[in-house]
Amino acid sequence: MIKKILVANRGEIACRIIRTAHSMNIATVAVVSSADRDSLSARMADEIVEIGPPPAAESYLRIDRIVAAIESTGADAVHPGYGFLSENTRFAEAVAGAGAIFIGPPPAAIAAMGDKITAKRLAKKAGVDTVPGHDGEVTGEDEAARAAAAIGYPVMLKAAAGGGGKGMRIAAGEAALREGFAATRREALSSFADDRVFIEKYIQQPRHIEIQILADSHGTVVHLGERECSLQRRHQKIIEEAPSPFLDETTRAAMGSQACALARSVGYQSAGTVEFIVDRDKKFYFLEMNTRLQVEHPVTEFVTGLDLVELMIRIAAGEPLPFTQAQVRTTGWAIEARLYAEDPVRGFLPSIGRLTRFRPPVEGQGVRVDTGVHEGAEVSIYYDPMIAKLITHGDDRAAAIDRMSHALDRFVVSGVTSNAVFLAALVNHPRFRAGRLSVEFIAEEYPDGFAPHRVAKPLATRLVAVAALIHTVTAARARRIGAPAQDSGVNHWIVRVGDTEHPVEVAPTDDGYVIEHPGGSMSLSTQWQPGRRLLTAHIDGETAVVQVAGGHGVYRLTHAGAYLSLEVLPPHIADLMHRMPPKPVRDLGRFLLSPMPGLLVSVAVESGAVVKAGDTLAVIEAMKMENILRAERDGTVKTIHAAKGDSLMVDQQVIEFE
Eight-class DSSP state of 360: P
pLDDT attached to residue 478: 81
Average pLDDT on 604-612 reads 92
Eight-class DSSP state of 195: -
Taken in order of first residue, the domains within the chain and their CATH numbers are: 4-103 (3.40.50.20), 108-131+206-326 (3.30.470.20), 133-201 (3.30.1490.20), 332-449 (3.30.470.20), 457-577 (3.30.700.30), 591-657 (2.40.50.100)
Distance CA 568, CA 469 (A): 10
Mean pLDDT value across the chain: 92
pLDDT attached to residue 211: 98
Average pLDDT on 362-372 reads 97
pLDDT attached to residue 488: 46
Distance CA 585, CA 511 (A): 46
pLDDT attached to residue 624: 62
Find the helix packing angle between 297-304 and 308-316, rounded to 10°: 100
Distance CA 97, CA 639 (A): 55
Decide: 335 and 400 in contact? Cβ < 8 Å: yes
Question: Closest Cα partner for 518 from 528, 505, 508?
Answer: 505
Name the 3-class secondary structure at 573: helix
Confidence of residue 164 (pLDDT cuts 50, 70, 90): low
Average pLDDT on 323-333 reads 97
191 Cα distance to chain centroid: 18
pLDDT tens readout for residues 616-625: 999 988 766 6
Does the pLDDT at position 482 exceed 70? no
Decide: 18 and 11 in contact? Cβ < 8 Å: no
* DSSP code per residue over 214-242: EE-TTS-EEEEEEEEEEEEETTEEEEEEE
Contacts of 540 (CB under 8 A, 6+ apart): 522, 523, 524
Q: What is the pTM of this model?
A: 0.84
Decide: 566 and 463 in contact? Cβ < 8 Å: yes
What secondary structure, in 3-state letters, does 410-434 show? CCEEECCCCCHHHHHHHHCCHHHHC
Distance CA 374, CA 351 (A): 16
pLDDT attached to residue 623: 64
Average pLDDT on 444-461 reads 90
Distance CA 557, CA 463 (A): 7
Average pLDDT on 158-164 reads 80
Cis ω before 360 (30° cut-off from 0): no
Contacts of 206 (CB under 8 A, 6+ apart): 230, 277, 278, 279, 438, 439, 440
CA atoms within 13 A on the CB side of 140: 2
pLDDT attached to residue 524: 94
Q: Which of 12, 288, 336, 626 is catalytic?
A: 288
Instruction: Identify whether 288 is a catalytic site residue.
Output: yes
Average pLDDT on 633-642 reads 92
pLDDT attached to residue 201: 87
Cα separations in angstroms, 145 against 6, 142, 401: 46, 5, 44
Neighbour tally for 105: CB within 10 Å: 28
Amino acid in position 547 = Q
Confidence of residue 487 (pLDDT cuts 50, 70, 90): very low
Eight-class DSSP state of 203: P
Measure the CA dihedral 71/76/82/88, to 10°. Answer: 60
Does the pLDDT at position 30 exceed 90? yes
Average pLDDT on 395-399 reads 98
pLDDT tens readout for residues 45-73: 999 999 999 999 999 999 999 999 999 99
pLDDT tens readout for residues 494-509: 999 988 999 999 998 8
Does the pLDDT at position 484 exceed 70? no
Average pLDDT on 575-579 reads 87
Find the helix packing angle between 11-23 and 308-316, rounded to 10°: 70
β-pair partners for 5: 28, 77
* DSSP code per residue over 5-39: EEE---HHHHHHHHHHHHHTT-EEEEEEEGGGTTS
Distance CA 298, CA 328 (A): 16
Identify the residue with better confidence: 213 or 594.
213
